[in-house]
């Protein structure tokens, strides 16, 4: 089973700043099966990025994904007030889906 | 949209059946999964079912205790849960399968609490 480790656990930033979130896999992620989700309190997760770098429908272009192998990054170029939330990475491998433990982006 | 139901309080060792009603899209053409989230914790994938109900996959933590199924004629997804323990306490989401094995549509979740 591939384990995803996200860092940092919490990111304290101000609106307008750039956010860089990391997701590291315990072994190489197969194909392009790496995604990112955003979750706000009391809400279901929302798909942001699939296939490492493709934005889901309706996702603003300030969100971007990159990486390969075992190291992946979600970048939010300029934080908007609505971007403060918890972010999860997710991978698929051999009939198993796993999520990272999450990174909380909070207002500084 | 996806709307889950069937959650509630159940005693340890008990059973519960969750349902997920789909609308607004052609349910039969999408794979579906259940994903859960324990209180204050992260997301855990639970089970997957393909469009035709085969193949089906389970997380090791629920294998042998949970059964996923679907009724394409009723646009519904189900999760039958047996031998429930405190570790199964969570919000259970149904989620629609999307490109690159992701989930692009989620329900609002239904809470399952296992406690005596």
Report pLDDT digits (tens) over A38-93.
Answer: 999 999 999 999 999 999 999 999 999 999 999 999 999 999 999 999 999 999 99
Q: Do B57 and A92 lie within an 8 Å CB cutoff?
A: no
Q: Do B100 and A92 lie within an 8 Å CB cutoff?
A: yes
**Residues from chain A contacting residue B100 (CB–CB below 8 Å):** 31-35, 50-51, 54, 92
Q: B75 pLDDT exceeds 90?
A: yes
Chain B nearest-CA residue for A104: B42
Nearest chain B Cα distance for residue A34, angstroms: 8
Q: Do A99 and B100 lie within an 8 Å CB cutoff?
A: no
pLDDT, residue A90, reads 98
Nearest chain B Cα distance for residue A77, angstroms: 23
**Residues from chain B contacting residue A31 (CB–CB below 8 Å):** 100
* 3-state secondary structure labels for all residues of chain A: CCCEEEECCEEEECCCCCEEEEEEECCCCCCCCEEEEEECCCCCCEEEEECCCEECCCCCCCEEEEEECCEEEEEECCCCHHHCCEEEEEEEECCEEEECCCEEEEEC
pLDDT, residue B81, reads 98
Q: A30 pLDDT exceeds 90?
A: no
pLDDT in tens, B33-72: 999 999 999 999 999 999 999 999 999 999 999 999 999 9
How much of chain B exceeds pLDDT 90, in percent? 99
Chain B nearest-CA residue for A52: B100
pLDDT, residue A94, reads 86
């Amino acid at each position: 089973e591939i384990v995803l480790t996200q860092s940092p656990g919490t990111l304290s930033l101000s609106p307008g700043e750039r956010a860089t979130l990391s997701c590291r896999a315990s072994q190489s992620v197969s194909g392009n099966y790496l995604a990112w989700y955003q979750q706000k309190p009391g809400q279901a997760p929302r798909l942001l990025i699939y296939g490492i770098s493709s934005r889901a429908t309706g996702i603003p272009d300030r969100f971007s994904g990159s990486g390969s192998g075992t190291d992946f990054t979600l970048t939010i170029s300029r934080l908007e007030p609505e971007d403060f939330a918890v972010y999860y990475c997710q991978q698929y491998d051999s009939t198993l889906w796993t999520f990272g433990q999450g990174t909380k982006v909070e207002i500084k | 949209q996806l709307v889950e139901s069937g959650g509630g309080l159940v005693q340890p060792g008990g059973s519960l059946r969750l349902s997920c009603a789909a609308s607004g899209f052609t349910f039969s053409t999408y794979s579906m999964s259940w994903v859960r989230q324990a209180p204050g914790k992260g997301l855990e994938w639970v089970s997957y079912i393909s469009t035709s109900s085969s193949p089906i996959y389970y997380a090791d933590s629920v294998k042998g205790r949970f059964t996923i199924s679907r009724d394409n004629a009723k646009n519904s997804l189900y999760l039958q849960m047996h031998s429930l323990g405190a570790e199964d306490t969570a919000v259970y989401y149904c989620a629609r399968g999307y490109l690159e094995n992701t989930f692009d549509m989620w329900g609002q979740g239904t809470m399952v609490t296992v406690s005596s």
